[in-house]
Structures are given as structure tokens and as C-alpha cells.
């Protein structure tokens, strides 16, 4: 009997796969059978080694996604390594914090370029190949700030709101071409990016008090959602933003 969650024989590109959410998603895809192209500025040695221990093929693609310069090369190197590209996870992202009245143009551009511009052009480059093969899965990593405003992170909020809209637009354009485009919106996940919030006693308490699950999420909590959206089980899911948030948005 066919397992609709089986990713055996598929090749996945995961950006920011060296740690945190990206690493957890990459390893969940590998556990489901996918081979991995791990993309990032920092080599994802631990991720690649873990995937290979599972019996998967895995490669590192060094790329700085603060510009779109490496975008086509990422696709080309993936195809050279595996002969195929079936899944793209746009996870790489940065955040800058400052009051809106003081926020700099440099911090605005850095976040928008990495989180939104490069994500779009990587979707575009991957989709050109996926359209030719009439199948593919794209998963963008959104945020609670795709739905909410947040404070002191104007460019991050703008970028993640943009990811939500972009996911829907691409689904509209590409669903009929065999490509599923969806997003995962992580809740408050304990990673390096949220270390400052976790360390702030008052802010940490306010966050946990609002989460119905009563705890911060862990990167591994996102793995099942990624496998689902990357698999045949989600073949009729298009333009959806799946919140994995412990109930945060329901509160």
C-alpha cells in the first residue's frame, strides 16, 4: 500500500539548514526519504552527517542569500548532485530589532532582501524546473507576524507578511502546473533567533502565558508539517499558511 507521506527518491533544497528550524525540517524530510541540498552561509555539516546516517544523499551548497546572486547556482548544483529537484523549503531569514522611529534603511533592506526578495527568486528558479517536470512542492517559512504586527521589527513583519501574500500568488499561478505552494508559520520556537525573548523574564512569561500548549515550541515540532506539505498527502493543498504555534493564534 502506498504511503502518501513517503518522500523516497525526492530531492529537497532547504535554505538555512545548519541549525534551528531549517535543520529540523531538513532532517524530517530526510527521515521521510528525501535527499538533501543544505543551503546557507554556514556549512550544515551536522545536518548532512545526520542525513547520511539515515542512508540519504546530502550535500552542502554554500550561498549567501542576502542577494539573489547564488539563486540559479543553488538550483544548478542540486540538479548536478541528484539529477532532480522536487521540494524547496525557503527557511533562511534574518531579523533586526529597533523602534520604528529609529529603524535604519540598512536594516530594512537587509531583512527584505534576505527574507522576501531572495525567497521569491529562489521560488522562481525552482519553479522553472518544476514546471518543466509538471510537479514540485514549495514550502515558504512564514511567521506569526504574517498575521500580526509585532513590535520593533518593522522589516521582519513586512517580509513575513509578504511571504504570506507571495505564497498565495504563486499558488494561484502554479497550482495548475503541478506545483503546490504553501507556507508554515511557526509560533514561538526556541532557537537562536528568539534567544533574546527567552532571556527576558517578563517577555518570556507573557509569551508562555498566552500559548495554550503552555510552552515554547521546539524546532522538531515543525517537522511533521513540512513532511505533510512536501508529500502526496497534501496534493490538493494550495496557498495555505499552516500555523504550528501551540494554539497562539487561537487564543
Q: pLDDT digit string (tens) for 86-138?
A: 999 999 999 999 999 999 999 999 999 999 999 999 999 999 999 999 999 99
Cα separation, 68 vs 60, whole angstroms: 18
Asked if residues 137 and 183 have their Cβ atoms less than 8 Å apart, the reply is no
Asked if residues 14 and 36 have their Cβ atoms less than 8 Å apart, the reply is yes
Cα separation, 178 vs 121, whole angstroms: 19
From residue 176, how far is each of 135, 144, 172, 191 by CA, in Å? 10, 29, 8, 36
Report the pLDDT value the prediction gives residue 193, as an integer from 0 to 100: 79
CA atoms within 13 A on the CB side of 231: 21
Cα separation, 164 vs 157, whole angstroms: 11
From residue 151, how far is each of 100, 188, 203, 245 by CA, in Å? 8, 15, 12, 18
Q: Which of 82, 120, 156, 188 is catalytic?
A: 156
Q: Which residues of the chain have pLDDT under 70?
A: none
- Indicate the burial class of 81 (C-beta count within 10 angstroms; 0-12, 13-18, 19 or more): middle
Report the pLDDT value the prediction gives residue 192, as an integer from 0 to 100: 85
pTM: 0.97
- Indicate the burial class of 76 (C-beta count within 10 angstroms; 0-12, 13-18, 19 or more): middle
- Indicate the burial class of 129 (C-beta count within 10 angstroms; 0-12, 13-18, 19 or more): middle
In the 8-state DSSP scheme, what is residue 189?
A: B
Helix (H, G, I), strand (E, B) or coil at 185: strand
- Is residue 188 part of the annotated active site? The answer reads no
Asked if residues 61 and 37 have their Cβ atoms less than 8 Å apart, the reply is yes
Asked if residues 114 and 206 have their Cβ atoms less than 8 Å apart, the reply is no
Nearest of 226, 242, 217 to residue 26 by alpha carbon: 226
In the 8-state DSSP scheme, what is residue 133?
A: H
Report the pLDDT value the prediction gives residue 247, as an integer from 0 to 100: 98
C-alpha cell at 132: 518543466
Report the pLDDT value the prediction gives residue 72, as an integer from 0 to 100: 98
In the 8-state DSSP scheme, what is residue 32?
A: T
Report the pLDDT value the prediction gives residue 29, as an integer from 0 to 100: 98
- Please name each of the domains of the chain with its CATH number: 11-244 (3.40.50.720)
Report the pLDDT value the prediction gives residue 196, as an integer from 0 to 100: 85
C-alpha cell at 52: 547520511
The C-alpha cell 535604519 sits at 104
Amino acid at each position: 500500500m502506498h504511503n502518501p507521506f513517503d518522500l523516497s527518491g525526492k530531492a529537497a533544497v532547504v535554505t538555512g539548514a545548519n541549525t534551528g528550524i531549517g535543520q529540523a525540517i531538513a532532517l524530517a524530510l530526510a527521515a521521510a526519504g528525501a535527499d538533501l541540498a543544505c543551503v546557507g552561509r554556514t556549512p550544515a555539516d551536522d545536518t548532512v552527517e545526520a542525513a547520511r546516517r539515515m542512508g540519504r544523499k546530502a550535500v552542502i551548497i554554500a550561498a549567501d542569500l542576502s542577494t539573489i546572486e547564488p539563486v540559479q547556482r543553488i538550483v544548478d548544483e542540486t540538479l548536478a548532485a541528484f539529477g532532480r529537484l522536487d521540494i524547496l523549503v525557503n527557511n533562511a531569514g534574518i531579523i533586526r530589532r529597533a523602534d520604528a522611529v529609529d529603524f535604519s534603511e540598512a536594516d530594512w533592506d537587509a531583512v527584505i532582501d534576505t527574507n522576501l526578495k531572495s525567497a521569491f527568486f529562489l521560488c522562481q528558479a525552482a519553479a522553472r524546473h518544476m514546471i518543466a517536470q509538471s510537479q514540485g512542492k514549495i514550502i515558504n517559512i512564514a511567521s506569526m507576524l504574517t498575521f500580526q504586527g509585532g513590535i520593533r521589527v518593522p522589516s521582519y513583519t513586512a517580509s513575513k507578511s509578504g511571504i504570506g501574500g507571495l505564497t498565495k500568488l504563486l499558488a494561484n499561478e502554479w497550482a495548475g502546473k503541478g506545483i503546490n505552494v504553501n507556507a508554515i508559520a511557526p509560533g514561538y520556537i526556541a532557537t537562536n533567533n528568539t534567544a533574546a525573548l527567552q532571556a527576558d523574564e517578563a517577555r518570556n512569561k507573557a509569551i508562555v502565558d498566552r500559548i495554550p500548549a503552555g510552552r515554547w515550541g521546539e524546532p522538531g515540532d515543525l517537522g511533521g508539517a513540512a513532511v505533510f506539505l512536501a508529500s502526496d498527502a497534501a496534493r490538493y493543498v494550495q496557498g495555505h499558511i499552516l500555523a504550528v504555534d501551540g494554539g497562539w493564534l487561537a487564543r
